[in-house]
Amino acid sequence: MIRPVLSVRNLHRAYKSGGGMLKVLAGADIDIFPGEMVGLIGPSGSGKSTLLHAAGLLEKPNAGEVFINGKECLKLSDDERTAIRRQRIGMVYQFHHLQKEFTAEENAMVPQMIAGQTSRAARAESRRLLTAMGLAERLTHRPSQMSGGEQQRVAIARALANRPQILLADEPTGNLDPATSAVVFDQLYQLTRQEGVAALVATHNMQLASYMDRLLTVREGLIVPFTPAPISY
């Protein structure tokens, strides 16, 4: 039987809101299998980021379990969770969060060096990924010397640099104009496929979502398959 790379079980997350609690996730389940690309769509505020942050071990939910490669992670110590996040999970956000004093190549080297790679191996991998993202001519550019689309492509290369088992992307092209967004999304898609990495990609953009193997959405705190509304004539 093929084991999911990411499983979320019975996840609950509520936030304090005014005098009460806003229930965002209330029993959410999800399974992402090796190599598949899954879209997470849904209106603003429905809980996509909340789910991705919990699945990426960045935030602890109120209850539930997150399995990465079959291993439950929420009961682990902070250090163990951080180690799993660094080794097995790649994250891309709407904003690139690159280190501004580092070049493109160095930015993609950082997570590898933290994971214990030699600088030589990290540089080679960084160059390979940046070249695959169309940035062979930008290796020594700093973020301020790159366009928004280029910066985001560096962030994608960085997220894939440790050969994670799962890529979690939260509106990865949400900050870009539509034409750049389409190009960067296409590169994210091609490279993720080429690397064989499973991905869960939150997006508002239905055109981009149509590339995904399947689509999920958040409904009343649960993760359910997304079925497009029928077109009425």
Distance of closest approach, residue 219 Cβ to ligand ATP, in angstroms: 12
Stretch (H or E) spanning 201: strand 198-202
Distance of closest approach, residue 232 Cβ to ligand ATP, in angstroms: 26
Going by the DSSP 8-state scheme, the letter that residue 100 receives in this structure is T
Residues 6+ apart with CB under 8 A from 18: none
Distance of closest approach, residue 48 Cβ to ligand ATP, in angstroms: 4
* Alpha helix stretches (DSSP H) within the chain: 48-55, 78-88, 104-114, 119-132, 148-160, 178-195, 206-209
Distance of closest approach, residue 12 Cβ to ligand ATP, in angstroms: 13
Opening angle at CA 55, ends 73 and 60, nearest 5: 65
Distance of closest approach, residue 38 Cβ to ligand ATP, in angstroms: 15
Nearer to ligand ATP, 14 or 83 (CB): 14
Distance of closest approach, residue 50 Cβ to ligand ATP, in angstroms: 3
Give SS3 for 147.
coil
Tokens linked to 93: 């956000």
Among 20, 85, 33, 70, CA closest to 214? 33
Nearer to ligand ATP, 107 or 217 (CB): 217
Nearer to ligand ATP, 17 or 147 (CB): 17
Nearer to ligand ATP, 41 or 108 (CB): 41
Site residues (CB under 6 A) for ligand ATP? 15, 22, 24, 42, 44-50
Q: Are 166 and 90 in contact (CB under 8 A)?
A: yes
Other CB atoms within 10 A of residue 21 CB: 11
Other CB atoms within 10 A of residue 147 CB: 12
Distance of closest approach, residue 127 Cβ to ligand ATP, in angstroms: 33
Nearer to ligand ATP, 62 or 87 (CB): 62
Nearer to ligand ATP, 15 or 101 (CB): 15
How would you class 222 by CB atoms within 10 Å of its CB: exposed for 0-12, middle for 13-18, buried for 19 or more?
middle
Nearer to ligand ATP, 50 or 112 (CB): 50
